[in-house]
C-alpha cells in the first residue's frame, strides 16, 4: 500500500473541491469496508483519501410521505432499522440486514454500498498481494489482461449480463432492492449536482469490465431517493446463500407486488447474485402482471427471468436456483399485508 494523504471534508462541496485539488488519484472514503480491503489486496491504490463520513446532514433518513431520502453516508444499520423503512419498505430493510455482518453494517454506508466491487475471487485474490495465491489475469482489475474465471473455477460467477471479457457478479443486496424500487441516485461532482435513475447507474461489462459505474471522476453520491409506491409493504428481499447468514448471495430476488385479491396488478422484480449488475427483470414482471398468482405462475416468472442465462462449467445451478428464488419471493411478497 502506498503512502497517502488523509483529509476530512466538512461538506460535499468541500469534498469535491479537495478531489479537484488532489489531481486524479484521490478517492472518497466513507466506511471504507470495501475500499480499504481492496487497498490491502493491492487492487485500489489511492494517493489521497477524502473522508466524507463526517459531512453534516449527509446521514439523514427522511420522508415527506411521498419520497424516502437517504443521505449518502447514512449507515447501513441505521437505514435498516429506521421505522419508516422497516414498516413501509420491508425489501429495503431486509436487503440491508441480510448483507454483511452487524459490525460491517455499523461502518458501511448506503451510498458507498452502491459502489461495492465484485467478490470474483480472481479479481480479489489475483493481484499478487499474496504470494501463496499468485497472479491471475483479470480484465476488471487490469484492462485487457484476460479473464481467469471464464474456463476457470466459476461456481459463483454470473449467468446474466456476462460478456466475453467478464462474468463477475455484482455483489450487493441493497442495490438490487433499490433497482426494484426505481430509486434515484443524487450526486455532486466538478460539473455540479445531478440525479440519475439507478437503472442508468450500472454498466454491463461488455469490453470494458473495469468501468462499472456511470460516475464521472470526482463525482460523489450524496443521496438516494425512493418514491412511494403502492407496492412498498408487500415486498421481500429473498436471499439464498451457502450459509444462512453473513455470506454473499448465490441467488436473490427483490420483489414488490401490488395485489387486487389474488390478482397481481403490478410487480417489481430484481435479481442479485446471478448477474453482472443489479438486474431488473421486466420479462418476469410481465408473466405475473394481470394474472392470478399461483405457484405455477410464479415459477414461470422465475424461468422467464433466466431465459437468456448463459452458464459456465459449475454455475448452471444458479439458473434453476434463481428461478425458484424469484418464485418464492413472489409468494412471500404477495402474502404480506398491504
Partner 1 sequence: MADEGSTKTQTAGVTRRVVLATGAGAAAASILPLDESAQAQMPSAHVETGRKVHLSALINGQRVSLELDSRASLLDLLRERLGYTGTKKGCDHGQCGACTVHLDDRPVSACLTMAAKIDGRQVTTIEGLSTGQDLHPMQQAFIDNDALQCGYCTPGQIMSAVACVTQGRATDPDAIREFMSGNICRCGAYVGILAAVEQAAKVMEG
DSSP string, 122-143: HHHH-BSS-TTT-B--BTTTST
* Contact (CB, 8 A) for 51 and 6: yes
Query: Could you give the CA distance from residue 238 to residue 298 in angstroms, rounded to a whole number?
Result: 14
Comparing CB distances to partner 1, the nearer of 75 and 198 is 75
Per-residue binder mask for partner 1 (CB under 8 A), 49-88, x = binder: x-x-x-----------------------x-----------
Compute CA distances 86 → 90, 108, 189, 293, whole Å. Answer: 5, 19, 32, 25
Using an 8 Å Cβ cutoff, are 231 and 258 in contact? yes
- Toward partner 1, which CB reaches closer, 100 or 179? 100
Identify which of 166, 168, 164 has the alpha carbon closest to the alpha carbon of residue 156.
168
Contact between 2 and partner 1 per CB under 8 A: yes
Minimum distance from residue 97 beta carbon to partner 1 (Å): 8
The distance of closest approach from Cβ of residue 74 to partner 1 in the complex, given in angstroms and rounded to an integer, is: 14
Q: In the bound complex, what is the minimum distance in angstroms from residue 308's beta carbon to partner 1? A: 33
> Around Cβ 195, how many Cβ atoms within 10 Å?
11
Interaction of residue 101 with partner 1, rule CB under 8 A? yes
Interstrand relation of 184-189 and 192-197 (parallel, antiparallel or unpaired):
antiparallel
d(CA 308, CA 221): 32
* Contact code string over 105-134 relative to partner 1, x by CB under 8 A: -xx---------------------------
Closer residue to partner 1, CB minimum distance, 244 or 296: 244
Q: State the minimum distance, in angstroms, from the CB of residue 140 to partner 1.
A: 19
- Does 104 bind partner 1 (CB under 8 A)? Our answer is yes
Q: Which is nearer to partner 1, 69 or 119 (CB)?
A: 119
Cα gap 154→148, rounded to integer Å:
9
Residue 148: C-alpha distances to residues 5, 120, 142, 153, 318 (Å) = 34, 10, 12, 8, 20
Residue 271 in the binding site for partner 1 (CB under 8 A): no
Q: Residue 193: beta bridge partners?
A: 188
Provide the minimum distance between the beta carbon of 3 and partner 1 in the complex, in angstroms, as a whole number: 4
Eight-state DSSP code of residue 169: P
Residue with smaller CB distance to partner 1, 7 or 11:
7
Residue 102 beta carbon to partner 1: minimum distance, rounded to whole angstroms: 6
- Contact code string over 162-191 relative to partner 1, x by CB under 8 A: ------------------------------
- Report if residue 20 touches partner 1, rule: CB under 8 A: no
Contacts (Cβ under 8 Å, ≥6 apart) of 197:
182, 183, 184, 185
Pick from 14, 37, 44, 182 the residue near partner 1 by CB under 8 A.
37
Residues 227-246 that bind partner 1 (CB under 8 A): 244-246
Cα gap 197→195, rounded to integer Å = 7
List of residues contacting partner 1 (CB under 8 A):
1-6, 29, 31-33, 36-37, 39-41, 49, 51, 53, 77, 100-104, 106-107, 244-246
Amino acid at each position: 500500500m502506498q503512502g497517502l494523504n488523509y483529509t476530512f471534508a466538512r461538506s460535499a462541496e468541500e469534498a469535491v473541491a479537495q478531489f479537484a485539488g488532489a489531481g486524479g488519484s484521490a478517492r472518497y472514503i466513507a466506511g471504507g469496508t470495501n475500499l480499504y480491503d481492496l487497498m490491502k489486496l493491492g487492487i485500489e491504490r489511492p494517493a489521497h483519501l477524502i473522508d466524507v463520513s463526517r459531512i453534516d446532514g449527509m446521514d439523514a433518513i427522511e420522508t415527506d410521505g411521498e419520497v424516502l431520502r437517504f443521505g449518502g453516508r447514512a449507515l447501513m444499520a441505521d437505514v435498516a432499522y429506521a421505522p419508516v423503512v422497516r414498516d413501509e419498505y420491508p425489501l429495503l430493510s431486509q436487503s440491508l440486514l441480510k448483507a454483511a455482518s452487524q459490525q460491517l453494517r455499523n461502518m458501511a454506508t448506503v451510498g458507498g454500498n452502491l459502489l461495492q466491487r465484485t467478490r470474483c475471487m480472481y479479481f480479489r485474490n489475483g493481484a499478487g498481494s499474496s504470494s501463496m495465491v499468485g497472479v491471475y489475469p483479470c480484465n476488471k482489475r487490469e484492462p485487457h489482461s484476460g479473464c481467469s474465471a471464464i474456463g476457470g473455477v466459476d461456481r459463483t460467477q454470473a449467468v446474466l449480463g456476462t460478456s466475453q471479457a467478464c462474468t463477475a457478479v455484482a455483489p450487493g443486496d441493497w442495490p438490487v432492492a433499490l433497482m426494484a424500487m426505481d430509486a434515484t441516485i443524487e450526486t455532486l461532482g466538478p460539473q455540479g449536482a445531478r440525479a440519475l435513475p439507478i437503472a442508468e447507474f450500472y454498466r454491463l461489462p461488455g469490453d470494458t469490465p473495469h468501468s462499472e459505474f456511470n460516475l464521472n471522476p470526482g463525482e460523489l453520491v450524496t443521496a438516494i431517493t425512493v418514491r412511494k409506491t403502492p407496492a412498498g409493504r408487500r415486498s421481500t428481499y429473498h436471499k439464498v446463500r451457502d450459509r444462512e447468514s453473513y455470506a454473499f448471495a448465490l441467488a436473490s430476488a427483490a420483489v414488490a407486488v401490488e395485489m387486487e385479491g389474488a390478482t397481481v396488478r403490478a410487480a417489481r422484480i430484481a435479481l442479485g447474485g446471478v448477474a453482472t449488475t443489479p438486474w431488473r427483470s421486466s420479462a418476469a414482471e410481465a408473466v405475473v402482471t394481470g394474472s392470478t398468482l399461483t405457484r405455477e405462475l410464479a415459477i414461470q416468472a422465475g424461468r422467464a427471468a433466466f431465459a437468456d442465462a448463459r452458464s459456465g462449467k459449475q454455475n448452471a445451478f444458479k439458473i434453476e436456483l434463481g428461478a425458484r428464488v424469484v418464485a418464492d419471493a413472489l409468494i412471500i411478497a404477495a402474502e404480506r399485508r398491504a
